[in-house]
């Protein structure tokens, strides 16, 4: 169950990445029988994959839950309070030294980049797995849409 703060982070992240030539999907399970899930992935027409992990509490940030940073660029999406905690904690700072850090507004739809991500070299095989995983996850999201409103009702609303 997502918290209101997590939903707020998702809204800010969608607004931040929703641009021409950038395609995104939330909750992407990696691989056919994957146990890893990325909170949000974007793929852009310049062949760049960006992975985003959303953390809204210190307990969540420090948990043993997998944080999947497999993109060309990887980001941690956090609150301002968590950013201040990371800056004050050497261990946490080191843990996220390669990831970019985005701070989202707890009200509104703003997002601020406070630390740039370092580029990784993603192999061709990993790139293919990520893109296949995104397609499956996007198909799941379309399925959710059609469960909310049957196709013929969506079509009728277009006219």
Half-sphere exposure of 102 (CA within 13 A, CB side): 25
pLDDT by position in tens, the chain (length 159)? 789 999 999 999 999 999 999 999 999 999 888 788 999 999 999 999 999 999 999 988 888 766 789 999 999 999 999 999 999 988 888 888 899 999 999 998 999 999 999 999 899 999 999 999 999 999 888 888 777 666 556 555 665
Of 85, 87, 108, 107, the closest CA to residue 97 belongs to 87
- The full set of domain ranges for the chain reads 4-158
Assign a CATH topology to domain 4-158.
Trna Endonuclease; Chain: A, domain 1 (3.40.1350)
What does the pLDDT look like over 15-54, one tens digit per residue?
999 999 999 999 999 988 878 899 999 999 999 999 999 9
**Threshold 0.85, pTM exceeds:** yes
Q: What single-letter DSSP state applies at residue 96? A: T
């Amino acid at each position: 169950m997502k918290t209101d703060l997590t939903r707020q982070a998702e809204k800010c992240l969608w607004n931040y990445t929703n641009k021409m030539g950038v395609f995104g999907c939330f909750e992407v399970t990696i691989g056919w029988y994957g146990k890893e899930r990325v909170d949000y992935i974007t793929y852009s027409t310049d062949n760049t994959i960006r992975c985003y992990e959303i953390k809204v509490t210190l307990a969540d940030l420090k948990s043993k839950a997998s944080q999947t940073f497999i993109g060309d660029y990887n980001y941690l999406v956090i609150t301002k309070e968590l950013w201040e905690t990371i800056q004050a904690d050497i261990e946490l700072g080191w843990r996220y030294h390669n990831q970019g850090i985005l701070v989202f507004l707890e009200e509104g739809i703003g997002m601020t980049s406070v630390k740039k991500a370092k580029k990784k070299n993603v192999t061709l095989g990993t790139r293919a797995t990520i893109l296949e995983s995104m397609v499956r996850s996007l198909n799941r999201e379309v399925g959710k849409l059609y469960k909310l409103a049957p196709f013929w009702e969506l079509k009728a609303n277009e006219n």
